[in-house]
Amino acid sequence: SSVAASNFIRNIIAEDLAAGRHTRVVTRFPPEPNGYLHIGHAKSILLNFGLAADFGGACHMRFDDTNPAAEDMEYVESILRDVRWLGGDWGDKLFFASDYFERLYAFAVELIQKGRAYVCSLSEAETRELRGTVTEPGRESPYRNRSVAESLDLFARMRAGEFPEGAHVLRAKIDMAAPNMKMRDPPIYRIKRARHYRTGDAWCVYPLYDFAHSLSDAIEGITHSICTLEFENNRELYDWIVEHLDVPSRPRQYEFARLNLSYTVMSKRKLLALVKGGLVTGWDDPRMPTIAGLRRRGVTPEAIRSFCEEIGVAKTNSMVDIAKFESCVRDDLNLRAPRVMAVLRPLRVVLENYPEGQVEEIDAPYWPEDVPREGSRKVPLSRVLYIERDDFLEDPPKKWFRLAPGQQVRLRYAGFITCREVVRNEATGEVVELRCTYDRPTKSGEAPDGRKPKGTLHWVSAAHALPAEVRLYDRLFTVERPDAVEEGKDFLENLNPGSLVVLSGCQVEPSLSTVEKGSHVQFERQGFFFVDPVDSAPGAPVFNRTVALKDSWSR
Ligand code: ATP
Ligand code: MG
Ligand code: MG
């Protein structure tokens, strides 16, 4: 199955092919290189590349880079890396709308010559004033009936750089009374004095979205131009543009519901604000919903794919619970992350009846029984161990199945221990050590007399453990819809102050001393972790928590 396996767009394509309207399907993924891709883009990537692959067609990788202000080569490179990582294969079909500037300019001239566009010299405020409202028709610009010759002359001089920004725009001459506001003589070219990351200062007029997008599709022979629902009203203008020009092909636009995910934001402007404001460490901060962030957190392309398959492609917008995404991530990692033991907040345990200097190597499986994979590692057991600080309570409530004075627990793979004495720091009163006894005959996990402690703890041998840094990532925002804020409030007020907890004194089992950057592991009882590909060093791994074992938010 694939993201494209079953949806209304697939049906449209199948019908178009059956009816002979097209012999081959050509889609495109058209990001603007003004930021990094996020999980919402992944949905579009998997849909566009998936449809092309399923029907034996092609999906073009096109940069919609006609707005010089915020575009950059860094973004182009990151986008290509992310699309490739998600499995998007564009072959040799890599395009830049900025390569079409000369052709787009010629199309604009053609539109003027046909009497379908004019140079308008109203100010922005005057233009707004005349546009009307949803209920009231707009009024015509006094420049609407400029002669073709005058518009052609002004447009050439706009290109030549004779005018300041805002002095003139080129507008399509459609209908100021159109019920669809997008059809009220929309601007299609404007003067913009900004350096373009690819064409430099060659241009000072740039085409606007609807004009550039529809014509780029037509130039490339795109058959099905798939975009999100916000562009539904733009479709009429898209059609108008390709109908009124002598274009090499006739593409059609189809809209689907964008992905909205709870507890995060996806607008590039907001993601950029997080990066620029230093509120995250960068576009690839593991808390970001960006592809780069998810990758660094330890999410796999397969998990993203199965999530996008599960949510499907719909015609109405909705909010997807991030818990659904986390659940796909868990299901994927369950089959790829070997189980190991790591103590994040260590508390020393001395097994008083365990001989000093003795070490036992326990053979411990990497996989639980329900994962069909093989393999084990040696886990050393010795007199001094670490357990998790919060697995011990001196004065526990009822039904506390972990360690407490006088209470017995099972150590994973090692047998039972009973807590006999609590040692504290005399000055601070803090518990610094537990003196325990080890119940050797229970090493297999079962006692000969059938005793069965309810709790099983993870642990490491103090002398053998490897110190490590662990980064506990959590949701970036505390509310479901961080950007639904009241007037005067900022979405940044909804940031989760606990979205990152760095633990530097962790102790992990020695098998992890050779773990490679970019490996997945499960720390038993705690979650799935990923060896940070940037900050880890040989013998000094940094572990990013990809996702906790269960959804701690719904408990
Ligand atoms: P922003 O509005 O944050 O700047 P964008 O939607 O303009 O983002 P583009 O780079 O223009 O970003 O998008 C490239 C493609 O990805 C478009 O076809 C767009 O429809 C699609 N896309 C963007 N966001 C989502 C989303 N949340 N869900 C599905 N598709 C999306
Ligand atoms: Mg955009
Ligand atoms: Mg947008």
- Say if 509 falls within a structural domain: no
Tokens of 328: 């796909």
Last residue of one domain, picked from the residues 444, 464, 484: 464
Last residue of one domain, picked from the residues 464, 484, 499: 464
Of the residues 10, 28, 171, 268, only one is catalytic, namely: 268
Encoded amino acid at 53, one letter: A
Predicted confidence band of residue 279 (pLDDT cuts 50, 70, 90): very high
Number of structural domains in the chain: 2
3-state DSSP helix/strand/coil percent for the chain, to nearest 5? 30, 25, 45
Sequential DSSP letters for 295-331: HHHT--HHHHHHHHHHH---SS-EEE-HHHHHHHHHH
pLDDT of res. 444? 65
Residues 6+ apart with CB under 8 A from 306: 328, 331, 332
Quick: pLDDT tens for 176-230: 999 999 999 999 999 999 999 999 999 999 999 999 999 999 999 999 999 999 9
- Say if 289 falls within a structural domain: no
Give the CATH number of the domain where residue 138 resides.
3.40.50.620
Of the residues 252, 258, 297, 410, only one is catalytic, namely: 258
Is 33 near ligand 1, meaning CB less than 6 Å away? no
- Say if 250 falls within a structural domain: yes
Q: Both ends of the chain: CA-CA distance in Å?
A: 33
Task: Read off the pLDDT of each residue in 425-448 and give the average, rounded to a whole number.
Answer: 85
* Burial class for 286, CB neighbours closer than 10 Å (0-12, 13-18, 19+): buried
pLDDT of res. 486? 86
Tell whether 266 is in a known binding site.
yes
Of the residues 9, 37, 44, which should be mutated to test ligand 1's pocket, given the most ligand atoms within 8 Å of the CB?
44
Name the more confident of 550 and 551: 550
104 and 232 co-located in one domain: yes
40 pLDDT more than 80: yes
CA dist., res. 161 & res. 193, Å (int): 9
pLDDT of res. 443? 61
In this prediction the ipTM stands at 0.96
Active site residue 268: yes
pLDDT of res. 555? 34
Tokens of 531: 């060896």
Least confident of 43-47, 312-316, 478-482, 505-509: 312-316
CA dist., res. 221 & res. 224, Å (int): 9
Quick: pLDDT tens for 396-423: 999 999 999 999 999 999 999 999 999 9
Percent of the chain's residues with pLDDT above 70: 97
50 and 144 co-located in one domain: yes
Nearest CA to ligand 1 atom 22: 41
360 and 214 co-located in one domain: no
CA dist., res. 470 & res. 464, Å (int): 18
Task: Judge whether 313 and 3 are in contact, CB under 8 Å.
Answer: yes
551 pLDDT more than 70: no
233 and 366 co-located in one domain: no
CA dist., res. 205 & res. 159, Å (int): 6
Ligand 1 atom nearest the C-alpha of 48 is 18
Quick: pLDDT tens for 440-495: 766 666 676 777 888 999 999 999 999 999 999 999 999 999 988 888 889 999 99
375 and 240 co-located in one domain: no
pLDDT of res. 238? 98
pLDDT of res. 554? 44
pLDDT of res. 193? 96
Tokens of 67: 């707005």
210 and 96 co-located in one domain: yes
343 and 242 co-located in one domain: no
Tell whether 64 is in a known binding site.
yes
Give the CATH number of the domain where residue 361 resides.
2.40.240.10
Of 27, 29, 30, the residue nearest 13 (C-alpha): 27
pLDDT of res. 442? 67
- Say if 99 falls within a structural domain: yes
Q: Which residues pair with 530 in a beta bridge?
A: 520, 544
The 3-state DSSP class for residue 454 equals: coil
46 and 160 co-located in one domain: yes
Mean pLDDT for all residues in the chain: 95
Is 48 near ligand 1, meaning CB less than 6 Å away? no
Residues 6+ apart with CB under 8 A from 67: 32, 34, 192, 206, 209
CA dist., res. 327 & res. 175, Å (int): 50
Last residue of one domain, picked from the residues 219, 235, 259: 259
88 and 230 co-located in one domain: yes
Of the residues 37, 209, 228, 235, which should be mutated to test ligand 1's pocket, given the most ligand atoms within 8 Å of the CB?
228
541 pLDDT more than 50: yes
- Say if 399 falls within a structural domain: yes
254 and 360 co-located in one domain: no
Tokens of 38: 């996020």
99 and 212 co-located in one domain: yes
Tell whether 44 is in a known binding site.
yes
pLDDT of res. 441? 67
Percent of the chain's residues with pLDDT above 90: 92
Residues 6+ apart with CB under 8 A from 341: 379, 412, 458, 459, 460, 508, 509, 523, 524
130 pLDDT more than 50: yes
- The CA dihedral of 8, 11, 13, 17, to the nearest 10 degrees, is -170
Quick: pLDDT tens for 131-155: 999 999 999 999 999 999 999 999 9
Of the residues 32, 110, 236, 302, only one is catalytic, namely: 32
Task: Judge whether 347 and 392 are in contact, CB under 8 Å.
Answer: yes
pLDDT of res. 145? 97
Range of the domain at 27: 8-259
Task: Judge whether 416 and 442 are in contact, CB under 8 Å.
Answer: yes
Q: How do strand 205-207 and strand 187-191 relate by DSSP bridges?
A: antiparallel
